[in-house]
A and B are shown apart, each in its own frame.
Chain A
Amino acid sequence: MLDTTQIQLIESDVESARITLYNLSDELVDHICCAIEDQMRNGKSFDEAYALLKEQTGIKVLQSIQENTLYLTDKKYRLMKTTMKITGNVALALLGMGTVMKIFHWPGAGPALVLGFALLCLFFFPAVVYINHREGKSKGGPIMNFSILVGGVGLMAGILFKVMHWPGASMLLLGGWFFILFIFLPTLLYAKLKDAKSGFEKRVYVLGVVALIIFELATMFKMMHWPGAGPLMILGSLLLVAVFLPLYTNMRFKNVELKTGQFIYLITISMYAVVLTALLAMNVSKDILGCFVRSQDNGTAINHYFEQKERILAASNTVKDSVVMMNAEKIKHVSEETAKVKNEIQNLKLNLVQEIEQVDKQTALAAISESVKISKKDNYDIIDHILFDQNGNGLANSLKGKLDTYRELILKLTTSNKELSESISRILDTSSKKNYNTMVSWEEDNFKHNPLISTLALLTALEKNVSMVESSTIQYINQ
């Protein structure tokens, strides 16, 4: 006959298999005890007999008994399990196909992605949460189930909205993150702490959840284009991968029987997370950044030419002095106004490079004329911060105002030549554009979420346009 400590050992093992079904845990404990007692009557020790039995009936077998019982006795569970299997497979196929179609720009990518995500959000995910709950795998109770359900669906719907450029994506993402960061993860931590057997284990769990919260916050910052995502992400992923994961695997797999499958799964998933994070953190691929470097340097060269042009051409000026005198006033005015606008653009570039690279004026100027020297070419968080304030009245908006005034001035001067004034008004156009059925202002269309290097190239091109307009206008006045 087994003593109380032996029975308690078996009970705790059955409990760790999360057998929650009515009567079933008692039955399994009794069954295991009976089988061990039989073996012991044949002369084996308790330890031997239990080790032998465990080989045949590990935690997985106990769990499968519960799953089979639920499957037989619970209609809703059966339905959910079928739903989970079918919608999971179909959604995966749809999302996979959708992604491939999106990459190759084939038609039908949108509907495939929408349908896949809808299946995932509305059927697969709720079914998974329900099944986990029924199998007793989620220990945090209704709050945890509710928060992961709402948060998870919110996040997935948010990603879909973001991919499809539907309005409201940010709200969904933020809402989903709120539930996961501030309700689900703390409840998970609470449940884990209640389960923890040693102080070391407790500290590992706290570390894990804190790392996860930092990591998720970083992802959220990244997706919302808030500044500070980079350092948060580095901190979060370092804590998660370099500190928490080794401690956790060491703790989990040291004494327990070797669970190769689970271990491989854990490592693979972590690797995916790290690689995807790295890709996400890079913002834009290097090749594309290289294109903008060339475009920026090319633009700088042209602007340099325009600066010299008036001086070079003045030397070989053939226009009569009397005419020059007459137009001098007008030309001086145009040159002054042009200089003001160009100054504004140059200051903006300088401002951006200095803020982002954290360098002095001299270094920033050198970097602008040879943009390969810029190290944070793909930064757009700080740009957004500088160019746009909360009310949409940032520097981008004031630049637009200056361009508008300049354009009006030039149009007034060239109004007698319709073709010229129309070209100029096209070159200096700052009107809003229609993008995915919503009106987007000129400054948002050009500068929102635009990496540093392409923003510089854009500003340089703008400067070039202004110089061209100046040159044509002066030429027109001189005729």
Chain B
Amino acid sequence: MASNDLLKGMLKPIILKLLFEKGPMYGYEITQLVKEISAGEIELTFGALYPILHKLEQEGIVQTESEVINNRNRIYYSITPKGNSLAQEKIAELEEFVKTLKIFFKPNFGLKFSHA
């Protein structure tokens, strides 16, 4: 399973990507989906999730909508029009970063050293 240290900073773009592709989601749904997609490799606890969601809401990137389901309030998060471009930017940034990161795992970092 991925450690918390590695996950730091990745969670925001991951959450944004999910919301961007799947549309409005509620907290528990997000945690379960992350678990499912990563085959249990990434565990997004609710302790980590909700502070990030509230931060994103405060920044105006996501918005909330409350709906009564099964006798309780459920809060759905979706990306705002304003947050759309920013979400794409963040996702692209992460993709770029992963590409860069991969280079480090190639033998010899993909470089051809000359042994003259």
Please report whether the interface of chain B is mostly helix, strand, loop or mixed according to DSSP. helix
B31, B70, B71, B72 pick with most chain A CB within 10 angstroms = B72
Q: Is A4's beta carbon under 8 Å from chain B?
A: yes
Smallest Cβ distance from B50 to chain A, in angstroms? Answer: 6
The A1-31 residues at the B interface (CB cut-off 8 A) are: 1-4, 7, 21, 23-24, 26-31
Contacts of A21 in B (CB 8 A): 54
A57 to B50, CA, bound (A): 14
A23 nearest in chain B by CB position: B75
A120 to B31, CA, bound (A): 42
Contacts of A4 in B (CB 8 A): 71
Contacts of A68 in B (CB 8 A): 47, 51
Q: Is A143's beta carbon under 8 Å from chain B?
A: no
A27 to B64, CA, bound (A): 11
Contacts of A26 in B (CB 8 A): 66, 72-75
Contacts A28-B46, A61-B47, A68-B51; A23 near B66 (Cβ below 8 A):
yes
Q: Is A398's beta carbon under 8 Å from chain B?
A: no
Please give the number of chain A residues whose Cβ is less than 8 angstroms from any Cβ of chain B in the complex.
26
A71 to B51, CA, bound (A): 8
A71 to B47, CA, bound (A): 13
What total of A-B pairs shows CB separation below 8 Å?
A: 66
Q: Is B52's beta carbon under 8 Å from chain A?
A: yes
A64 to B26, CA, bound (A): 20
Smallest Cβ distance from B16 to chain A, in angstroms? Answer: 16
Smallest Cβ distance from A67 to chain B, in angstroms? Answer: 9
A246 to B64, CA, bound (A): 47
Q: Is B23's beta carbon under 8 Å from chain A?
A: no
Contacts of B52 in A (CB 8 A): 72
Contacts of B26 in A (CB 8 A): 27, 30
Q: Is B102's beta carbon under 8 Å from chain A?
A: no
The reply to whether A30 and B47 form a contact with Cβ atoms under 8 Å apart is no
Smallest Cβ distance from B36 to chain A, in angstroms? Answer: 12
Contacts of B73 in A (CB 8 A): 26, 29-30
Please give the number of chain B residues whose Cβ is less than 8 angstroms from any Cβ of chain A in the complex.
21
Smallest Cβ distance from B34 to chain A, in angstroms? Answer: 14
Contacts A23-B66, A23-B75; A30 near B54 (Cβ below 8 A):
no
Smallest Cβ distance from A163 to chain B, in angstroms? Answer: 43
A27 to B55, CA, bound (A): 15
Contacts of B46 in A (CB 8 A): 28, 31, 57, 65
A73 to B59, CA, bound (A): 9
What 0/1 readout, one digit per residue, does chain A (26-49) give for beta carbons within 8 Å of chain B?
111111011100000000000000
Contacts A34-B28, A35-B28; A69 near B66 (Cβ below 8 A):
no
Smallest Cβ distance from B15 to chain A, in angstroms? Answer: 13
Smallest Cβ distance from A250 to chain B, in angstroms? Answer: 32
The reply to whether A72 and B28 form a contact with Cβ atoms under 8 Å apart is no
The reply to whether B66 and A72 form a contact with Cβ atoms under 8 Å apart is no
Q: Is B60's beta carbon under 8 Å from chain A?
A: no
The reply to whether A33 and B72 form a contact with Cβ atoms under 8 Å apart is yes
A3, A23, A28 pick with most chain B CB within 10 angstroms = A23
A35 to B26, CA, bound (A): 13
The reply to whether B70 and A33 form a contact with Cβ atoms under 8 Å apart is yes
B29, B54, B70 pick with most chain A CB within 10 angstroms = B54
Q: Which B residues fall within an 8 A CB radius of A?
A: 26-29, 31, 46-47, 50-52, 54-55, 58, 64, 66, 70-75
Pick 9 A–B contacts, CB within 8 A, sort by A. A2-B70, A3-B71, A7-B71, A23-B75, A33-B70, A34-B29, A65-B51, A68-B47, A69-B51
Q: Which A residues fall within an 8 A CB radius of B?
A: 1-4, 7, 21, 23-24, 26-31, 33-35, 57, 61, 64-65, 68-69, 71-73
A-B CB proximity, top 8 nearest:
A34-B28, A26-B73, A69-B51, A68-B51, A72-B55, A73-B58, A69-B54, A31-B28
